[in-house]
Structure 1
Amino acid sequence: MSDSNQKAGCSSGLNYLPLGPLNGEVGGSVTFTTTVNPTGPELAAITWSFNKGSGPVSVIAFLPTATKPGPGYVGRVSLNNVTGFLELRELTLGDSGDYSVTLTTSNAQSLQGKTRLEVYEKISGVKTTVPTGVLITDGPEDVFIQGHREIEVGNRVVLTCSASSISPATFTWTFNGKETGVLTEEYTIANATIDHEKISGVKTTVPTGVLIAEKISDVNITGPTGVLIAGNGSANLSCQAAAGTLISRKWLKDGNSLSPSNRITVSGDNSSVSIDPVQGSDNGHYQCRLTNPVSTDTVSYYLTVNYGPEDVVIQRHREIEVGNTVVLICSASSVPPATFTWTFNGTETGVLTEEYTIANALIDYSGTYTCLARNSVTGLNISSAPHLLTVTVPAPLGAILGGTFGALACVALAGGAFVCMKKKKRRDIPCNQDAQAVVYENTKELGGPVVYENLAEGSIDPRSVASENRDDYQELQFKDSATYCTMKSH
């Protein structure tokens, strides 16, 4: 190996690619392997690039949202997003050069590697004349293994060892450093098991690893069995599979990645999650996604945390006219759902539902309504803020009442006596006059001195004064028409 090739396979720190060069044949394919542990932290991003001397060019990029091949590599590359392995097909002489990879793990660690690929064109039809008595030897060189890199347990594995040699090379295969007895260029395993890994051919500079993984099955999440109450307990979730190897795990909540916090802890191998203390916001669907080179499986678990009631509030009507239907709704955030008790001016109404309905509102229903929410599991009772309801008189009825009270003005004095004045003749005063001081005056001469005096107790019921037939009572009037109009409007 030349010095330049040695340097091509090195970088500062750890190199997560095997030392090169890798060799390929025009029209063939080659797989770039990494030394990433598939059971370690999940790879969040992978970037492969190629440099022929004029600057790096993107081969393929993997992000959580998409995998995008670079220009000229569409349909020619395949990427394993668990191990970072890259397969490059339909090789050309232009594919020779330096290849580098950057692997970013889920815990933000950056792993890098660099190697070199040499692509050769197969030579055929060449005749060599060798002088008699001269022995020329060539090879074997460029020995490498092609074939499966990942396969599921029980499937057939085919590996092929090739070498450059004038005289045909012979081959000896070893498995984990021990000879297998296979002496052909092809090594076949009819029924792969977990034990069939790290098979290599003699004189290979880098052993070829074959990832043989068992399919994931029977995935299950176990969680707390007791009742959880917010702020007063913890929860532990464990994700396991009955079968499967080389498994990596990822936790999600309601479809989004679950992030650790000061309350949420994820174990080093991502097999369990601990929440301490639990809160109402921890309610939801938790998913555990398991992945290995040959399969993926996801399982869900619903975690229930009892909390509340919180945010108890009354909504809907605050003012309504007599005779209409009043609807008040009490809402509260609570697990399990809260039960409700309604009070009116401090007295329980007997209404125990979230909706309080009054079919025919009367003036007497004006007042303060309160809703008490209760959670039977947490034992908490929370009351809403007072809700003031005002039942108003419709405009036509108000006008009638205004006319009635305008005809009879009574002033209550000490001892229960009344001073009453009768309207002699009603005047309609325009409502656009300038505001003036309020003046009490007679609107018409009564034909003699007017005397205002207390009536004998019990002699006259002010409500029964025949205002239109008596001349000894006069209506209180306001000289200012704006004030008079204001009285009519209330």
Structure 2
Amino acid sequence: MLGRVACLALVLSGWCAGEDVLPPGPLSGAVAGAVTFSTTLKPPQSLFLSVRWSFKEDNIITSTSTNITDPKYANRISLDRATGALELRNLVLADTGEYTVTIIPDAGLPKQGKTTLNVYALITEATITSSPAAILIEDKSSANLSCEALGSISTIEWMKDKRPLRPSGRVTFSVDNKTVFLQPVHSSHHGTYQCRVSNPVSTVTVARDLTVNFGPHNISIIGPSAAAPGQRVALECTADSVPPANFSWMFNGNDMRVNNSVYTIERFEVERMGNYTCTARNMVTMLENSTVLNLKASCSAPQWSYLLLLISAIIRS
């Protein structure tokens, strides 16, 4: 009852604020695009006596039996007299702000609603730059990745290999999130970085590969630790390394002059038992690492065959 009395008093001064005349805001629009300020009102049996839209208290349009339109909006607006909705076209950044609608119905109390429009420039030309341009070596170099774009930037998100990039002991971000600092770089920093720049009306994602030279790490020899007489044996050396490592082999301390990742024994003999050493070298980091595999005769070989091999070795010695 008190609300109606208060509203009646406001009628005498020209208007009364109605509830939920406009949906909750704010609204978002793109530069050069359009937006519609819809109302929650159903078309009445007879048209509203008056519909007035204003921007920051300046008149956009006042519609009664005639329309009074600000010249700045002459070719940019359309008014729906049945619901009071307003379409605003050819948006510019200066259209950002508060909009007010005041509606006087043929019967009942005047209504008013307010909402806010935010206009954004579409995001374009996103890039990731890396500095310095020098070759990056694990634990010796640092790198900065910066994300730049044209348009109205609301948020910047970083990902690595399509997973969110989080701060850590070696990874930090600038206050505006535009730059990632990798200090110093680690082998785990090698990969593809994505920067997603967005605002409520547009999103652009850009990617850049970052090469971190590291290793060789985790060197190992894949192959049997025992072989039967006459068996063909292949030993493969692996290592985590960027760029890929160079390999060399030694047998019982002797250089075998094999410079690839696989060492092959076409026919295993007893004199081929011993220590096989693989050394991996990274020609950028200038680091190397080695591992040893001890190759023995297989216990599953027939005993007589093993004895023949042993006797043959003794005779040749």
TM-score scaled by structure 2? 0.73
Does structure 1 residue 175 correspond to structure 2 residue 55?
A: yes
Tell me: CA distance 1:277–1:206, structure 2 relative to 1, closer, same or farther (3 Å).
farther
Which residue type is aligned with residue 142 of structure 1?
Answer: A
Counterpart CA distance in 1 for 2:148 and 2:122 is: 14
Q: Tell me by how many angstroms 1:172 deviates.
A: 4.6
Q: Tell me by how many angstroms 1:358 deviates.
A: 0.6
* Aligned residue number for residue 154 of structure 1: 32
* Aligned residue number for residue 46 of structure 1: none
Is the contact made by 2:16 and 2:112 (CA closer than 8 Å) also made in structure 1? no
Is the contact made by 2:95 and 2:119 (CA closer than 8 Å) also made in structure 1? yes
Q: 1:377 aligns with which of 269, 274, 284?
A: 284
Map of 1:415-454 to 2, 5 A cutoff? none
* Aligned residue number for residue 248 of structure 1: 155
Q: Which has the larger radius of gyration?
A: 1
* Aligned residue number for residue 41 of structure 1: none
Tell me: CA distance 1:391–1:398, structure 2 relative to 1, closer, same or farther (3 Å).
closer
Q: Tell me by how many angstroms 1:170 deviates.
A: 3.9
Q: 2:187 aligns with which of 280, 296, 300?
A: 280
The superposition leaves residues 360-408 of structure 1 with CA deviations (integer Å, 9 ceiling, x where unpaired) of 1122111111111100000012111x32112366434357799x9xxxx
Counterpart CA distance in 2 for 1:372 and 1:399 is: 33
* Aligned residue number for residue 96 of structure 2: 197
Structure 1 residues 295-304 or 373-382, which shifts more?
Answer: 295-304
Q: Tell me by how many angstroms 1:342 deviates.
A: 0.3
Q: Which runs of 5+ in 1 are unaligned?
A: 4-135, 405-462, 464-490
Map of 1:285-300 to 2, 5 A cutoff? 285-300=192-207
* Aligned residue number for residue 92 of structure 1: none
Q: Tell me by how many angstroms 1:175 deviates.
A: 2.6
Which residue type is aligned with residue 297 of structure 2?
Answer: V
Which residue type is aligned with residue 303 of structure 1?
Answer: L
TM-score scaled by structure 1? 0.49
* Aligned residue number for residue 254 of structure 2: 347
Q: Tell me by how many angstroms 1:323 deviates.
A: 1.1
SS in 2 for 1:192: coil
Give the alignment's Cα RMSD to 1 decimal: 3.5
Q: Which structure has the higher relative contact order (CA within 8 Å, separation 6+)?
A: 2
Is the contact made by 1:251 and 1:288 (CA closer than 8 Å) also made in structure 2? yes
Q: 2:145 aligns with which of 226, 237, 261?
A: 237
Which residue type is aligned with residue 390 of structure 1?
Answer: K
Counterpart CA distance in 1 for 2:199 and 2:28 is: 10
SS in 2 for 1:141: coil
SS in 2 for 1:364: helix
Q: Tell me by how many angstroms 1:226 deviates.
A: 1.7
SS in 2 for 1:182: strand
Map of 1:103-118 to 2, 5 A cutoff? none
Q: Tell me by how many angstroms 1:246 deviates.
A: 4.3
Q: Which runs of 5+ in 2 are unaligned?
A: 4-10, 42-46, 64-83, 103-110
Is the contact made by 1:158 and 1:186 (CA closer than 8 Å) also made in structure 2? yes
Is the contact made by 1:173 and 1:199 (CA closer than 8 Å) also made in structure 2? no
Does structure 1 residue 397 correspond to structure 2 residue 296?
A: no
- Report % sequence identity: 34
Q: Tell me by how many angstroms 1:137 deviates.
A: 5.5
Q: Tell me by how many angstroms 1:180 deviates.
A: 3.5
* Aligned residue number for residue 16 of structure 2: 141
Q: Tell me by how many angstroms 1:171 deviates.
A: 4.9
Q: Tell me by how many angstroms 1:189 deviates.
A: 2.6
Is the contact made by 2:26 and 2:116 (CA closer than 8 Å) also made in structure 1? no
Is the contact made by 1:322 and 1:360 (CA closer than 8 Å) also made in structure 2? yes
Map of 1:191-340 to 2, 5 A cutoff? 191-201=90-100, 207-224=114-131, 225-242=133-150, 244-340=151-247
Counterpart CA distance in 2 for 1:174 and 1:138 is: 18
Map of 1:450-489 to 2, 5 A cutoff? none
Counterpart CA distance in 1 for 2:86 and 2:308 is: 108
Counterpart CA distance in 1 for 2:263 and 2:253 is: 15
Counterpart CA distance in 2 for 1:399 and 1:383 is: 33
Structure 1 residues 184-193 or 368-377, which shifts more?
Answer: 184-193
Q: Tell me by how many angstroms 1:315 deviates.
A: 2.5
Tell me: CA distance 1:399–1:290, structure 2 relative to 1, closer, same or farther (3 Å).
closer
Is the contact made by 2:38 and 2:86 (CA closer than 8 Å) also made in structure 1? yes
* Aligned residue number for residue 357 of structure 1: 264
Q: Which has the higher strand share?
A: 2
Which residue type is aligned with residue 307 of structure 1?
Answer: F
Q: Tell me by how many angstroms 1:181 deviates.
A: 4.9
Tell me: CA distance 1:360–1:202, structure 2 relative to 1, closer, same or farther (3 Å).
closer
Counterpart CA distance in 2 for 1:148 and 1:399 is: 90
Is the contact made by 1:322 and 1:394 (CA closer than 8 Å) also made in structure 2? no
Which residue type is aligned with residue 62 of structure 2?
Answer: L
* Aligned residue number for residue 73 of structure 1: none
Is the contact made by 2:156 and 2:198 (CA closer than 8 Å) also made in structure 1? yes
